[in-house]
């Protein structure tokens, strides 16, 4: 199953999950409404009335009660989901997480930051912020509503007790959750369970108020009955909701384990991490109170309870997970304080990688290879990521980890892409708008940036994300406005300038994203705009027209007249194409590759352009050069 099928399956799983929750909520509402409405009817009907005992239940009371309960459940769920949609940072901070930075980190903290950076670059994702959770258990999680607002949380026990290879396996597992759409599913689970829980909490509060009251009349008795009904039925809903949550979570864990092995090409990494959890006294069980809410998002089982037959277990048993990775495992676990090297008997088949793409003999074959690489990573792409990181001067790496200097570096990247005359105008603009000390820092940065290969520009943008995401709303608005001013200072915006600016906006966007509901045929004009822009990049008019026609044919779209490149139209086209259903995107991506490869060459600039557009469509493509 490829990235797009996983995305589609995640959407399908979400639909089935919502159906199950809807059934639970409807049943809860129906029963609770009947009990509460009956109790209220008793209060409203005079004592001894025959209607009260045998007459029909007043519909106004029944519907009014149902409306109140529906409002409590849905508003509670939507409120919690809205909180979590602000990004994974909210989840990490609720766990007491501390954002890790490059300023005086410990050796263990540097180790995990390096691993996350390598993994993100190898996966074609923006580097997520990393939060340290002060807990001695071995555990981690990925949280966020979308790829660009994801964060990684990891416990003190994990970075202290796991080796670098084992951390790679754990982080690769969490990146799989990002790829496969599990984060959004996890946050919806938290939201709907919160809505169900509110009914139980409301019942508990009513009972507390009842027992604090000295009244013993009929109304007080009914008040007690309502409180009992809300409490019992509310927590019953939470009970069954947790069973559903745990069942969904267990299946996603097997997929993430397998993806981690394919990513790292090192089954010993994640396998030994799991064995350490099994052989460690604390295991993965965390002592933080908030663990209960996010237990299904963790790398390992975060709670002590598993329920009857493991009903409440959010993760499969450790032994079963290890055997899926190494079928010949002998059952031995690892004490983290006395490590042993365990040889593995099997290694998964090699996945398509950058070396495969080099062997492709034609545009369509290359397109198939690149599309198969979306949402995956390989040992080859990890090597490319490590090479890119090694090519970035250490002084620049340090400056990428503070908000101010990272912002200045992004201005520098724009200037480094420009012709000399345009660069002078850009510097004049910045000198007028930036404090003198900031401008002096930028001038020093440019001395380091100018000699670098422009192939590193995307790497610098991705590495800067944890720092840039700390900008306030006003600071972010000013930053993006100045980027726009810089790229449009000469009255023209090249595709390279547009791609850099648009990627920054995409990664730093705090919106909630658009629903995936469109087909490719519904977006023909937008496809035409995008493919025309790609065809016109680096081709003369005749070659561009031929490339455009070939791309339309590959995507099974009508080939009409090639359009001139229009950056504003391209922006609008991307806004709509983002809404494509997952299984519709491969056709477009293949057409894009056919378009830029039509002349028989695929330059680094063309490949980076394809990678940027793929990232804008939430289809992360790993580096292949």
For every residue of 45-81, which 3-state class applies, written as one string?
Answer: CCCCCHHHHHCCCCHHHHHHHHHHHHHHHHHHHHHHH
What does the domain layout of the chain look like in residue ranges? 3-86+186-252, 90-177+259-305+315-325, 363-371+513-616, 397-504
Residue 341 banded pLDDT, cuts 50, 70, 90: very low
- Cβ atoms of 35 and 229 within 8 Å: the answer is yes
| Greater pLDDT, 240 or 443 | 443
Q: Residue 5 — pLDDT band, cuts 50, 70, 90?
A: low
| Lowest-confidence pick of 397-411, 490-504, 508-522 | 508-522
Pairing mode, strands 98-99 and 130-133 = antiparallel
Buried residues in 340-368 as b, exposed as e (16+ CB within 10 A): eebebeeeeeebbbbebbeebeebeebbb
Write out the two tokens for 503: 């990627």
Active site residues: 174
Q: Is 50 a residue whose pLDDT tops 50?
A: no
Per-residue pLDDT reduced to its tens digit, 432-463: 999 999 999 999 999 999 999 888 999 999 99
| Alpha carbon distance 302, 314 (integer Å) | 8
Would you state the pLDDT for residue 56?
56
pLDDT digits (tens, 9 = 90+) for 353-395: 333 333 334 677 777 777 777 777 677 788 888 888 999 999 9
3 state DSSP class of 314: coil
User: DSSP letters of 249-296?
Assistant: HHHHHHHHHHHHHHHHS-HHHHHHHHHHHHHSSSTT----TTHHHHGG
Question: How is residue 551 written in tokens?
Answer: 């791309």
Contacts of 462 (CB under 8 A, 6+ apart): 120, 121, 125, 126, 127, 507
**Token digits for 457?**
């520009």
What is residue 6's predicted lDDT score, i.e. its pLDDT? 54
**Region of poorest pLDDT, from 18-32, 43-57, 184-198, 217-231:** 43-57
Q: In the prediction, which pLDDT does 351 show?
A: 37
Residue that has been written with the tokens 């980890």 in this structure: 401
Q: Which CATH superfamily hosts domain 90-177+259-305+315-325?
A: Metalloproteases ("zincins"), catalytic domain (3.30.2010.10)
């Amino acid at each position: 199953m490829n990235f797009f099928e996983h995305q589609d399956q995640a959407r399908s799983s979400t639909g089935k999950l919502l159906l199950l929750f809807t059934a639970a909520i409807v049943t809860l509402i129906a029963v609770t409404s009947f009990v509460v409405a009956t109790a209220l009817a008793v209060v409203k009907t005079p004592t001894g009335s025959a209607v009260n005992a045998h007459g029909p239940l007043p519909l106004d009371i029944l519907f009014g009660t149902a409306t109140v309960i529906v409002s409590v459940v849905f508003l509670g769920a939507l409120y919690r989901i809205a909180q979590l949609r602000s990004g994974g940072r909210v989840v990490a901070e609720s766990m007491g997480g501390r954002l890790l930075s490059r300023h005086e980190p410990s050796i263990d903290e540097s180790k995990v930051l390096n691993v996350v950076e390598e993994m993100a670059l190898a996966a074609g994702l923006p580097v997520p912020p990393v939060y340290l959770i002060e807990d001695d258990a071995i555990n981690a999680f990925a949280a966020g509503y979308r790829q660009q607002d994801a964060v990684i949380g990891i416990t003190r026990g994990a970075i202290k007790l796991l080796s670098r290879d084992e951390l790679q396996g754990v982080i690769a597992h969490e990146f799989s959750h990002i790829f496969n759409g599990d984060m959004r599913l996890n946050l919806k689970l938290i939201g709907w369970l919160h809505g169900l829980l509110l009914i139980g909490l409301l019942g508990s509060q009513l009972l507390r108020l009842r027992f604090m009251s000295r009244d013993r009349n009929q109304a007080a008795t009914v008040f007690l009955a309502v409180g009992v009904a809300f409490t019992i039925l509310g927590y019953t809903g939470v009970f069954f909701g947790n069973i559903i949550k745990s069942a969904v979570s267990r299946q996603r864990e097997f997929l993430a384990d397998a993806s981690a092995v394919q990513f790292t090409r090192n089954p010993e990494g994640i396998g030994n991490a799991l064995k350490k959890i099994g052989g460690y006294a604390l295991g993965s069980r965390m002592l933080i109170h908030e663990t209960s809410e996010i237990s299904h998002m963790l790398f390992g089982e975060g709670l002590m309870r598993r329920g009857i037959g493991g009903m409440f277990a959010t993760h499969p048993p450790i032994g079963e997970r290890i055997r899926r990775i190494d079928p010949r495992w002998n059952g031995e676990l690892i004490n983290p304080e006395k490590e042993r090297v365990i040889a593995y008997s099997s290694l998964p088949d090699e996945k398509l990688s950058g070396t495969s793409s080099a062997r492709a003999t034609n545009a369509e074959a290359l397109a198939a290879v690149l599309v198969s690489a979306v949402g995956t990573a390989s040992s080859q792409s990890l090597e490319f990521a490590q090479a890119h990181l090694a090519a970035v001067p250490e002084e620049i790496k340090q400056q990428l980890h503070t908000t101010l200097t990272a912002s200045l570096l992004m201005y520098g990247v724009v200037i480094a892409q420009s012709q000399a005359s345009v660069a002078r105008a850009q510097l004049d603009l910045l000198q007028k708008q930036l404090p003198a000390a900031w401008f002096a820092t930028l001038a020093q940065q440019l001395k380091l940036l100018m000699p670098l290969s422009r192939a590193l520009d995307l790497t610098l943008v991705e590495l800067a994300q944890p720092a840039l995401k700390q900008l306030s709303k006003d600071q972010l608005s000013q930053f993006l406005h100045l980027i726009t001013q810089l790229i449009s200072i000469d009255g023209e915006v090249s595709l390279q300038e547009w791609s850099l600016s648009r990627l920054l906006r995409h990664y730093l966007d705090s919106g909630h994203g658009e629903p995936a509901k469109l087909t490719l045929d519904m977006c023909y004009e937008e496809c035409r705009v995008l493919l025309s822009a790609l065809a016109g990049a680096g081709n003369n008019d005749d070659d561009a027209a031929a490339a455009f026609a070939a791309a339309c044919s590959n995507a099974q779209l009508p080939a009409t007249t090639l359009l001139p490149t229009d950056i504003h139209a391209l922006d609008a086209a991307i806004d709509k194409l983002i809404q494509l259903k997952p299984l519709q995107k491969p056709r477009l991506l293949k057409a894009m590759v056919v378009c830029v490869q039509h002349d028989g060459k695929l330059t680094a600039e063309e490949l980076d352009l394809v990678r940027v557009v793929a990232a804008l469509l939430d289809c992360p493509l790993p580096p292949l050069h």
